[in-house]
Amino acid sequence: MSEAAINDFVIKLANVNGTGSASANGLLMKAIFRMGVPVVGKNVFPSNIQGLPTWYEIRVTEKGYRGRSGDVHFIVAMNAETYERDLAELSPGGVLLYDNTWPRPHFLTRPDIQVLGVPFARLCNDAFKAARSRILMKNMAYVGTVAALLNLDLDVIHQLVREMFSTKPKLIDLNLQAIALGYDYAKEHFDCPLPFSVQSRDNTAGKVMIDGNTAAGLGCVYAGATFGAWYPITPSTSLMDAFAKYCDQLRVDVDTDLHKYCIIQAEDELAAAGMIIGAAWNGARSFTPTSGPGISLMSEFIGFAYYAEIPMVLFDIQRVGPSTGMPTRTQQCDIQLCAYASHGDTRHLLLFPADPGECFEMAVQAHDLAERFQTPVFVLSDIDIGMNDWMVDELTWDDSYQPDRGKLLSTEELEKIEKFHRYLDVDGDHIPYRTLPGTHPKGAYFTRGSGHNKFGGYTEDGQAYKEVVDRLRAKWHSAASKVPAPVISPSKKKACCGIISVGSCDGAVLEARDRLEAEGLHLDYMRIRGFPFSDEVEQFVADHDEIFVVEQNRDAQLMGLLLLETDVPREKLIPILHYSGEPLDYQFVYSALQEAARVRKIA
């Protein structure tokens, strides 16, 4: 637990969903960001449309930490139903703000916190006529109160309101009025600002606030993907929404209104998988965003793409499984499934972005790798990365980039060669050449998921069959050096032990590691970014005596891959597992590492 301080505290807003709170909360976060102070925002929302508890947590972190902290210093408790729980979560010395319009019969409180009441409902009922406004404006009213209490820059807030409603200018004044209501009430009744508050800095220059799904959608645009198929599923929907938005903006001919892309809302995930396979087979870069249940449903097709060697790019925005699970909560629970999805001997390429910046980059890499290796490639994101706004370096682009279309024979090349065989390892690199329909009569071949020999012919012969699947395994293995390399962050002093982690665990792990380091526990850290594992991964496990594997699932799935695919002995690996569905916080990792180090007697 850590004390709240200037530019270093956590505010949590407890709301009911469907009441318009999300944009108000986003506005608060953006205001702090624009004041030059780094923020970490987590939106925890229910799996329905209206009426259930939702939370928005904003960590203000001058040092620019990227994970949750685990503390809550300031709660805006707008939801009576979760009030008790919200109250309990508040750190000692914290502040609770609530709507005191109606007296509460059994009002719970704690002696170690400060409670502030503002009659938001009454203020809004008095000020606004329309029923809908009265509900919506309560949110803006607490924004005003919070702004006063945290010393937020009102100009910044007003500017944000104007941008937010630029298309509905009538609403600007209404919202500004509501903000003023809350602001003025606070100034009048409370000591403003609180001891912890925000002071302007210049720590967010060159940064943007973006969510991973938007970044990945944008990445697909830059990758030159022209076809996307999907079936709506939380939390992957916004990825396709982003792709559609940017295509609409960038790829529609202004004169003719004609599109240079095609997006299809499929009838289900099986169909979405089939469509992107069809399009990729026919030479259009394609992708599908989905989540766990979608991967289960696509399993048969994934095996087909693997065996028939068709590029396939899948974004799995992971949510809490198994089954429908908690669709709006985060986990990293599809790692094992994606690594080996489908029946028979199958193995795939995985990319693990840790933030929206990497979602953008890896979206591009996924397309390159899928075409280079003619195989399914999974980008394993999650709700935390995908749907929360993260502060990251502004995305950049290298204008010299050219898509790697892999070993694709052109009409001219086909013209030259004697005879084309689809599955022949001509170059000894385990990757055969492919051709597109329509390019040349010589290029024709028959794609099938049934037994085929290296020439592409149907076979039921054991040796001919083996030859192809043996090459497939070798091809998969050769991708180890081509998937994104792990990021290794050595400890300041030489360390005998290490941490391995992945994806959205990164911020919390880095922070926990730094804090432990400050206390004298030195740990090297490797974040895995690709599968199959490269030599660096092997080296890291070889170089350390004990390795903590931090991940967000129950069954230690990443650790499982390490056991299966590297030479690491089991005794070296110590799982640290978080799977409640909330984004990981550094305190969890810190305590777990500390405890594990104690038990294992690591210096």
Partner 1 sequence: MTSFTKPHIRRKNEPVNKLGLVRADYDGAMSTLCAGCGHDSVTASMARAFFELSIEPHRAVKVSGIGCSSKTTAYFLREAHGNNTVHGRMPSVATGAVAANSALTYIGVSGDGDSLSIGLGQFVHAMRRNVNMLYVLENNGVYGLTKGQFSASADLGSLAKRGAPNEMPPIDPVSLALSVGATFVARGFSGDREQLVPLIKAGLKHKGFGLIDVISPCVSFNDHKGSTKSYAHTYQYYHKAVHADYVAPSKDIKVCYDEGEIMPVEMHDGGVIRLRKLEKGFDPRDRAAAMSALANAQKNDEILTGLLHIDETHPDMHALNKMEDRPLNEIPYAELNPGAAKLHDLQKGFR
Ligand X SMILES: Cc1ncc(C[n+]2csc(CCOP(=O)(O)OP(=O)(O)O)c2C)c(N)n1
d(CA 268, CA 137): 39
Backbone φ and ψ of 202, nearest 5°: -125, 40
Backbone φ and ψ of 211, nearest 5°: -95, 160
d(CA 2, CA 10): 10
360 is an interface residue for ligand X by CB under 6 A: no
List the 349-351 sheet strands across, edge first. Answer: 262-265, 227-230, 286-290, 312-318, 376-382, 349-351, 530-531
Q: Which of residues 316-375 bind a second copy (CB under 8 A)?
A: 320-329, 331, 333-334, 336-337, 340, 342-347
Nearest to 308 by CA among 482, 481, 445, 479: 445
300 is an interface residue for a second copy by CB under 8 A: yes
Span of 24-32, 372-380, 580-588, 595-603 interacting with a second copy by CB under 8 A:
580-588
275 binds, among partner 1, a second copy, ligand X, none (CB under 5 to 8 A by kind): partner 1
| Number of residues in contact with a second copy under rule CB under 8 A | 64
257 binds, among ligand X, ligand SF4, partner 1, none (CB under 5 to 8 A by kind): partner 1
49 is an interface residue for ligand SF4 by CB under 6 A: yes
Q: To the nearest whole angstrom, how small is the minimum distance from the Cβ of residue 303 to a second copy? A: 4
Helical packing angle, 292-308 and 462-478, nearest 10°: 120
Q: To the nearest whole angstrom, how small is the minimum distance from the Cβ of residue 454 to a second copy? A: 15
45 is an interface residue for ligand SF4 by CB under 6 A: no
603 is an interface residue for ligand SF4 by CB under 6 A: no
Contacts of 543 (CB under 8 A, 6+ apart): 498, 524
d(CA 46, CA 54): 6
304 is an interface residue for ligand X by CB under 6 A: no
45 binds, among partner 1, ligand X, ligand SF4, none (CB under 5 to 8 A by kind): none
297 is an interface residue for ligand X by CB under 6 A: yes
User: 394-402, long-range: CB within 8 Å, 24+ apart, which pairs?
Assistant: 394/206, 394/207, 394/208, 395/208, 395/210, 395/215, 395/218, 395/357, 395/360, 397/222, 401/222, 401/364
Q: To the nearest whole angstrom, how small is the minimum distance from the Cβ of residue 302 to ligand SF4? A: 28
Two tokens, residue 118: 């503002």
Amino acid at residue number 113: I
d(CA 181, CA 123): 7
Span of 229-237, 256-264, 310-318, 353-361 interacting with ligand X by CB under 6 A:
229-237
Span of 140-148, 291-299, 464-472, 552-560 interacting with ligand X by CB under 6 A:
291-299
Q: To the nearest whole angstrom, how small is the minimum distance from the Cβ of residue 441 to ligand X? A: 28
Among 92, 232, 322, 344, binds ligand X (CB under 6 A): 232
443 is an interface residue for ligand X by CB under 6 A: no
Q: To the nearest whole angstrom, how small is the minimum distance from the Cβ of residue 291 to ligand X? A: 8
470 is an interface residue for a second copy by CB under 8 A: yes
Helical packing angle, 292-308 and 269-281, nearest 10°: 30
386 is an interface residue for ligand X by CB under 6 A: no
Two tokens, residue 279: 């399009």
Q: How far is CA 56 from CA 26, 65, 75, 415, 428, in A?
A: 8, 18, 10, 60, 54
List the 95-99 sheet strands across, edge first. Answer: 39-44, 53-61, 8-16, 74-77, 95-99, 114-118
d(CA 523, CA 497): 5
Q: To the nearest whole angstrom, how small is the minimum distance from the Cβ of residue 542 to a second copy? A: 13
402 binds, among ligand SF4, a second copy, ligand X, none (CB under 5 to 8 A by kind): none
Among 9, 45, 231, 525, binds ligand X (CB under 6 A): 231
Q: Based on CB atoms, which residue is closest to partner 1, 114 or 447?
A: 447
Q: Binding marks (x or -) toward ligand X, 261..280, rule CB under 6 A? A: --------x-----------
Which chain residues interact with ligand SF4 by CB under 6 A? 49-50
Binding interface with ligand X (CB under 6 A)? 231-233, 269, 293-294, 297, 324
